[in-house]
Amino acid sequence: MPVVLFSLAGHAVTFAEAAAVAAGGLAFCLFLGLAAVLRRSRARSETAAAEALRAEELDRRLRELVRAQSEMSGRVQGMTELLAQRQSELARAVSERLDATSHRLGETLTTAARATHESLTRLAERLVVMEAAEKSLGDLSSQVIALRETLANKQARGAFGQARMEAIVADGLPRGSFAFQHTLSNGRRPDCAIFLPGDPRPLLIDSKFPLEAVTAFREAPTAEARKAAGQRMRTDLLKHVYDVAERYLLPGETQDVALIFVPSESVYAEIAERFDAVVQEAYRLRVVLVSPALLMLAVQVVQAIAKDARMREQADRVRAEVAALVDDVTRLRERVGDLSKHFSQVSDDVGRVLISSDKIARRGLRLEALDFDTPPDRSGSEPRPAD
């Protein structure tokens, strides 16, 4: 009867079965060990073959590396020599470039220094000019301020306009042809009276001008204020024109035209441009508004008229002098004719004297040669030359 060792899953395992299983397990382990040894032996042989191949490959690569190293060494030496040559060339080029750059830089610095010196000199000159201009501007500013203060004062403004008018008239006309503050028969004293030649009636000039309305018209801040200032200016101008026409246009005593002097070209242009009705009304009343330029032109016209009058006054004297000059020329011509006759007579006398001198010379030669063969002329007369 078999001996039961243990039961497994309800099955009784005997000793023979356990021994058989153990023998099978041992055989399987032996098989696994043999397979492992064979596998290890094959792996060892493969590893050895791979190591041999690797060693051969390593040797080949080592030889190639040595060859490459030798080639690299040659190349490195060539590159070293080339680099040394290039370095020397680069050093020489850099030195030349540095020399050229230094030379150019020196020239540039010299030129820049010269230009800077010239610029500083010109700047100094301009500063001097600017200082002079600033001084002149300061003087002009003070003069403008003084002029503004003068124009702000009515009496000073009138004196300014009268002084400018007097300067224009006095510079253009000779003394005696004008008078300032001339008294008329009605007791009025105009600022200037110009006397035309041949006409006792003077041309009167008034230098007072209402500039307050002009200033208000120019400085009006709004359209309404400007309109009101324009109306005021028109009224003041017409009043002044009417006053001049009433006071200075006296029939038979003064000229038919009177002048109102406007001391500013800009003010005159403003009036001529914007207040043409006032100018036309003044023309109708035979009152003319003139600017400084127009007054100069009028003075030149008066000067030309005076010069023409003086020339007409001297015309008779010039005619008398010309007639006397013609008489003198006629007498001179007669005396020159007489002198020409005297010159002709003297020429004949000189010809006879030359003939006589020739005869005397020939006789002297005969006397010198003792030539008495030819009987002398006893008549004692000399042939007269033909006239």
Per-residue pLDDT reduced to its tens digit, 9-62: 666 667 677 777 777 778 888 888 888 888 888 888 888 888 888 888 888 888
Q: Phi and psi at residue 205, in whole multiples of 5°?
A: -130, 130
Over the range 96-130, which residues count as b (16 or more CB within 10 Å of their CB) and which as e? Answer: eeeeeeeeeeeeeeeeeeeeeeeeeeeeeeeeeee
- Identify the DSSP state of 3: P
Residue that has been written with the tokens 């009028």 in this structure: 298
Q: Which pLDDT does position 13 carry in this prediction?
A: 62
Q: Which pLDDT does position 332 carry in this prediction?
A: 78
Q: Is residue 51 part of a domain?
A: no
Sheet holding 258-261, edge to edge: 178-180, 192-195, 202-206, 258-261, 287-290
164 and 131 share one domain? no
202 and 254 share one domain? yes
Q: Which pLDDT does position 2 carry in this prediction?
A: 59
**pLDDT mean over 301-310:** 78
**pLDDT mean over 345-364:** 78
- Distances in Å between the Cα of 334 and the Cα atoms of 323, 329, 339, 343, 347 are 17, 9, 9, 14, 20
165 and 293 share one domain? yes
Q: Is residue 142 part of a domain?
A: yes
260 and 124 share one domain? no
User: Which residues are paired to 195 by β-bridges?
Assistant: 202
Q: Which pLDDT does position 142 carry in this prediction?
A: 62
Q: Is residue 348 part of a domain?
A: no
Q: What is the DSSP string of 104-156?
A: HHHHHHHHHHHHHHHHHHHHHHHHHHHHHHHHHHHHHHHHHHHHHHHHHSHHH
205 and 259 share one domain? yes
Q: What pTM value is reported for the model? A: 0.43
**pLDDT mean over 247-253:** 85
Last residue of a domain, one of 108, 135, 152: 152
183 and 304 share one domain? yes
Number of domains in the chain: 2
pLDDT band of residue 3 (cuts 50, 70, 90) is low
- Which sign does the torsion angle of CA 139, 140, 145, 148 carry? positive
Last residue of a domain, one of 300, 320, 340: 320
pLDDT band of residue 267 (cuts 50, 70, 90) is confident
Q: Mean pLDDT across the chain, nearest whole number?
A: 77
141 and 201 share one domain? no
Contacting residues for 366 by C-beta, under 8 A, at least 6 apart: 372, 374
133 and 197 share one domain? no
164 and 217 share one domain? yes
Q: Is residue 37 part of a domain?
A: no
136 and 277 share one domain? no
| CA distance linking residue 282 with residue 239, whole number of Å | 10
Q: Is residue 12 part of a domain?
A: no
For residue 380, pLDDT beyond 50: no
Give the tens place of pLDDT for each residue, 330-345. Answer: 887 787 777 777 777 7
pLDDT band of residue 156 (cuts 50, 70, 90) is very low
Last residue of a domain, one of 320, 351, 377: 320
In the Cβ-directed half-sphere of 320, how many Cα atoms lie within 13 Å? 5
What angle, rounded to 10 degrees, do the helices at 15-152 and 154-172 form?
70
- Ranges 78-92, 132-146, 344-358: which has the least confidence: 132-146
**pLDDT mean over 126-142:** 77
Where would I find the H helices in 153-222? 154-172, 211-218
For residue 384, pLDDT beyond 50: no
Among residues of the chain, what percentage have pLDDT more than 70? 84
140 and 179 share one domain? no
131 and 228 share one domain? no
pLDDT band of residue 159 (cuts 50, 70, 90) is low
Q: Is residue 262 part of a domain?
A: yes
Contact of 189 with 203, CB cutoff 8 Å? no
pLDDT band of residue 257 (cuts 50, 70, 90) is confident
Residue-number span of the structural domain to which 147 is assigned? 119-152
